[in-house]
C-alpha cells in the first residue's frame, strides 16, 4: 500500500516520540472503504486484505514511520477550567445587575 506521508514528526528529537510499530491483531477485516476519498488522498491499495492489514497495524505502508507520540498530562485543563468557570460565574452575576427593564 502506498500512502503519501510527510513524516516530519519522526524527524523531531527522540524525547517527542519513540519509534515503535503497532501491536498486531488477529484476523483484521475491512468493514467500510471509501474509494473516492482514498483516491483523493493519494492512497493506493492492491486489495481489501492489504487495506485491513495496514489500517489494523499488522503491516506498514510504504514510506511510513510507525511511532508512539509523547504527550503531556491534562494539568493545564485542571488549572484552567476552574478559572474559566469562576469568570463565567462572575459574568453571570454582573449581567444580572445590568439587565435592561422592558416597559
Find the mean pLDDT for residues 58-86.
69
- Residues 71, 17: Cα–Cα separation, whole Å: 9
Convert the pLDDT of each residue in 17-65 to its tens digit: 888 888 888 999 999 999 999 999 899 988 999 999 988 889 888 888 8
pLDDT score of 86? 64
Residue 68 CB contacts under 8 Å (≥ 6 apart), including other chains:
17, 18, 20
Higher pLDDT, 1 or 83: 1
pTM of the model: 0.59
pLDDT score of 94? 65
Degrees, nearest 5: CA angle 41-43-49: 140
38 secondary structure, DSSP code: H
> Any idea where the domains of the chain sit in the sequence?
9-97
Which of 7-11, 23-27, 96-100 is predicted with the least confidence, judged by mean pLDDT? 96-100
> Mean pLDDT of all residues in the chain?
77
Amino acid at each position: 500500500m502506498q500512502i503519501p506521508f510527510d513524516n516530519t514528526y519522526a524527524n523531531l528529537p527522540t524525547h517527542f516520540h519513540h519509534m515503535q510499530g503497532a501491536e498486531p491483531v488477529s484476523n483484521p477485516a475491512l468493514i467500510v472503504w471509501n474509494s473516492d476519498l482514498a483516491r483523493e488522498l493519494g492512497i493506493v491499495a492492491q486489495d481489501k486484505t492489504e487495506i485491513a492489514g495496514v489500517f489494523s497495524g499488522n503491516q506498514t505502508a510504504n514510506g511510513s514511520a510507525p511511532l508512539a507520540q509523547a504527550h503531556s498530562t491534562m494539568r493545564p485543563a485542571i488549572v484552567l477550567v476552574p478559572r474559566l468557570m469562576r469568570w463565567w460565574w462572575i459574568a453571570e452575576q454582573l449581567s444580572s445587575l445590568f439587565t435592561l427593564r422592558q416597559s
